[in-house]
Chains A and B, each alone.
Chain A
Amino acid sequence: MADHHPTGIKRWLFTTNHKDIGSMYLWFSFIMFLIGGAMAMVIRAELYQPGLQFVEPNFFNSMTTMHGLIMVFGAVMPSMVGLANWLIPMQIGAPDMALPRMNNWSFWILPFAFTLLLSSLFMDGGAPNFGWTFYAPLSTTYGPPSTDFFILGVHMMGISSIMGAINVIVTVFNMRAPGMTLMKMPLFVWTWVITAFLLIMVMPVLAGAVTMMLTDRHFGTDFFNAAGGGDPVMFQHIFWFFGHPEVYIMILPAFGVASEIIAAFARKKLFGYSSMVYATASIALLSFIVWAHHMFTVGMPIAGELFFMIATMLIAVPTGVKVFNWVATMWQGSMTFETPMLFSIAFVILFTIGGFSGVMLAMAPVDFQYHDTYFVVAHFHYVLFPGAIFGTTAAVYYWLPKWTGKMYNEKLGKIHFWWSMIAVNLTFFPMHFSGLAGMPRRIPDYNMMFAAFNQLASIGAFALGLSQLFFLFIIIKAIRSGKKAEDKPWEGATGLEWDALPCPAPYHTFDTPPQVK
């Protein structure tokens, strides 16, 4: 029987099937999303009022740190890898990922890595409390004992990401069906292959940074210690050389998702396909030469500030191309507004707001005012939540019929959308104002004058948290009792996964490559 698949727990532990691994990645990332979200709830509860209400400052710092680390490495990145696993082989007509066993290893490292990271919450001295950016000397000289577990946890995540990225690149370059030329690939595949390049380039640099941290902490080296001829600022340079491309690692696959969904529901071909590819590649290349815009206030030579300022602003050009193309795709399309489309349109609008505040932050003289304030928090949450998370959410709604053979309830989906849309803006928009007024980030207590904005943000955050539980409910309901999906539930959908495969996709697909015209 063609659709035979192994059963029991071994199916998941020992699997080499890209669909199983994709599902595990997606569920894992959702669990991490809820854990990281719970930490965000702690943060917002404490910030609901000025003064210290619920938690100690040190624990508050652990919460901001762990929230960031878990969301970046545990929720967003694995969710994107999950999408890649499910979709790339089907979209390019491959039987599986190129290196299926390594694929399984990439996944299974993650639960262990995050067990290690989360166990630090129960250690003497508490969990890492130096922010997700773990600047030296906070993480070296002053880091709690759990820092060492954090360091090795990061090493494990890095190994996982690098292997995952290698798998994606090799799959795309070696496994495409005959006729599937590079410039015929769906944009999701393109954005992911570029993401994978970024991962291979920068995850090892992160590994280098934490290795130097470890030796500074325990073996007497002086990389980040001025007394020995090192420099804590060097840590920031190395970290952000990883950190800035990392930002694009989290968003580029979401660009790909939005490009596919908008085209499908506008019932038009994506406007400017090749310019989308080149824009994505340009964003990726530029991401290597802009890292120091995260550290304008650290005391760089003026030439450095200028260079990084101008290079950063250049990124607005390819990003503008993308936003233009999304809008032009919708222009005069026969649009309908199913849930995935709603999330994608919100993605375009809200991500653009995040992009604009990014341009503001890119201006060195202005950044001196914004630096380390809630304005920065507002900015990166606008690109990450309505950017990366909305992108993933849209993808889940869009491809759910392909994965499970079931439809979600459209009405509930729309409620989920409007609920998240309102909550996300209520949470993060006021942060622009508190930030501009000078409220510093990563602080458990604040001046009375910021109280109103913070209350709004906290109310929004609780609503946003609840909306994610509602999302979980919708998905479980769809899987258990959803309407059976037609083979092509979306009229305007294109691509091999819709045209050549039924819903749900069989356990093994494209044992023989399809011919792409």
Chain B
Amino acid sequence: MSTENQEKYEKYYVPEQSPWPIIGAIGLFLLAYGGANFIQQTTGKYNNDGSMGWIIFSVGLAVIIYMMWSWWRDTIRESMNGLYSAQMDRSFRQGMLWFISSEVMFFAAFFGALLYARQLIVPWLGGEGNNAMTHALLYPDFIPQWPLTTTPAGETTTAMGAFGLPAINTAILLTSSWTLTIAHHALKDGNRSALLNYTAITALLGIIFLGLQAYEYYEAYHHMGLTLGSGIYGSTFFMLTGFHGFHVTIGTIFLIVMSVRCASGHFTKENHFAYEAGAWYWHFVDVVWLFLFIFVYIV
């Protein structure tokens, strides 16, 4: 029975010991401990100047980058030495899909905050439902509206329009999804030059997107008075777009690494999980942006 199965099934590769997980855990610890100190020092809310927050944070970051580099280097070597079976490939794919699912829920928390604020908090502060007394006693002058350009406490700001930079950025991201799909098909057809060119174009579009977003933030902070502190509108605006921008940054780095790996001939028509993972991640970031564009900018 067992010999029969031995012939029938490929052996699943269970890796030997690896130092990277625990190094990653140490890195995360330094990142968190240093990060908390760093934040406290920078914002000056607490008397915390004695600790070397930013140094610990930077060391943590360096450890994490070193860990990721080495861990993936090992994985790539094993994969290219043919240690991975088709079943292993499925493990990676399913793992990536569930990771993206968890990311969807991370965004869902912030989208939830945005919708709750717009649909419930602001009307309630304006006296809707059984909240007439809240309105009358707390903020009688408050006018409920969205975008909330005047907070209950009276701070004012300007809303970010949808059809300037944001619309251009939408077009850029949609285009990048399209170029990435061309690259992906080129990979499957074994067309190396198209693969390289279109992957690089996609990464470049990501960089342009980030540049435009930085410019948008600059405009918001310096000319529109729209900051993180501009009430719930500013909070949700920067949290959602900032968090998305962070993901675009990761996705862009992902794609740049994939371009380098394509150039080094790491991928074959059949075996290119890492590339597809990068592509899935990029499409995910793209879809999140569409929701952002609708709910943060347009509606």
Measured CB to CB, the residues of A under 8 A from B are 6, 10-11, 13-17, 94-96, 98-102, 104-105, 108-109, 111-113, 115-116, 124, 145, 148-149, 151-153, 155-156, 159, 162, 165-167, 169-170, 173-175, 178, 200-205, 207-209, 211-212, 214-215, 217-223, 226-231, 234, 237-238, 241, 301, 508, 511-515
Q: B106 near A207 (CB under 8 angstroms)?
A: yes
Most buried by A among B33, B94, B235: B235
Q: B138 near A101 (CB under 8 angstroms)?
A: no
Q: A223 near B235 (CB under 8 angstroms)?
A: yes
| Interface membership of B234, Cβ < 8 A | yes
Q: List 16 A-B contacts (CB under 8 A).
A: A16-B14, A16-B18, A96-B14, A101-B18, A112-B28, A113-B32, A124-B46, A203-B102, A208-B113, A212-B110, A219-B229, A220-B227, A227-B153, A234-B113, A234-B121, A301-B129
Q: A105 near B29 (CB under 8 angstroms)?
A: no
Residues of B within 8 A of A153 (CB): 32
Q: A100 near B43 (CB under 8 angstroms)?
A: no
- The residues in B between 1 and 57 inclusive whose CB is less than 8 angstroms from any CB of A are 1-2, 4-6, 8-9, 11-12, 14-22, 24-26, 28-29, 32-33, 35-36, 39-40, 43, 45-48
Q: A152 near B32 (CB under 8 angstroms)?
A: yes
Minimum CB–CB distance from A239 to chain B (whole Å) comes to: 10
Residues of A within 8 A of B16 (CB): 16
Q: A229 near B43 (CB under 8 angstroms)?
A: no
CA distance A326 to B99 in the complex (A): 35
Most buried by A among B99, B228, B232: B232
Knowing A101-B20, A116-B32, say if A204 contacts B95 (CB, 8 Å): no
CA distance A162 to B101 in the complex (A): 10
Residues of A within 8 A of B192 (CB): none
Q: B105 near A215 (CB under 8 angstroms)?
A: no
| Interface membership of B152, Cβ < 8 A | yes
Knowing A101-B18, A166-B99, A203-B102, say if A218 contacts B45 (CB, 8 Å): yes
Q: B109 near A231 (CB under 8 angstroms)?
A: no
**Closest 5 interchain pairs by CB?**
A208-B109, A220-B229, A105-B21, A229-B232, A152-B32
CA distance A201 to B238 in the complex (A): 24
Q: B109 near A515 (CB under 8 angstroms)?
A: no
Residues of A within 8 A of B271 (CB): none
- The residues in B between 103 and 139 inclusive whose CB is less than 8 angstroms from any CB of A are 103-106, 108-110, 112-113, 116-117, 120-122, 124-125, 129-130, 138-139
Tell which of A13, A98, A222 touches B235, judged by Cβ atoms closer than 8 Å: A222
Measured CB to CB, the residues of B under 8 A from A are 1-2, 4-6, 8-9, 11-12, 14-22, 24-26, 28-29, 32-33, 35-36, 39-40, 43, 45-48, 71, 87, 90-92, 94-95, 98-99, 101-106, 108-110, 112-113, 116-117, 120-122, 124-125, 129-130, 138-139, 148, 151-153, 155, 227-229, 231-236, 238-239
CA distance A211 to B94 in the complex (A): 27
Q: B20 near A13 (CB under 8 angstroms)?
A: no
Minimum CB–CB distance from A275 to chain B (whole Å) comes to: 27
Residues of B within 8 A of A208 (CB): 106, 108-110, 113
Minimum CB–CB distance from A303 to chain B (whole Å) comes to: 10
Minimum CB–CB distance from B42 to chain A (whole Å) comes to: 8
CA distance A241 to B24 in the complex (A): 30
Minimum CB–CB distance from A225 to chain B (whole Å) comes to: 8
Tell which of B18, B95, B112 touches A104, judged by Cβ atoms closer than 8 Å: B18
Knowing A229-B151, A237-B116, A515-B1, say if A102 contacts B21 (CB, 8 Å): yes
Residues of A within 8 A of B101 (CB): 200-201
Tell which of A112, A166, A174, A227 touches B25, judged by Cβ atoms closer than 8 Å: A112
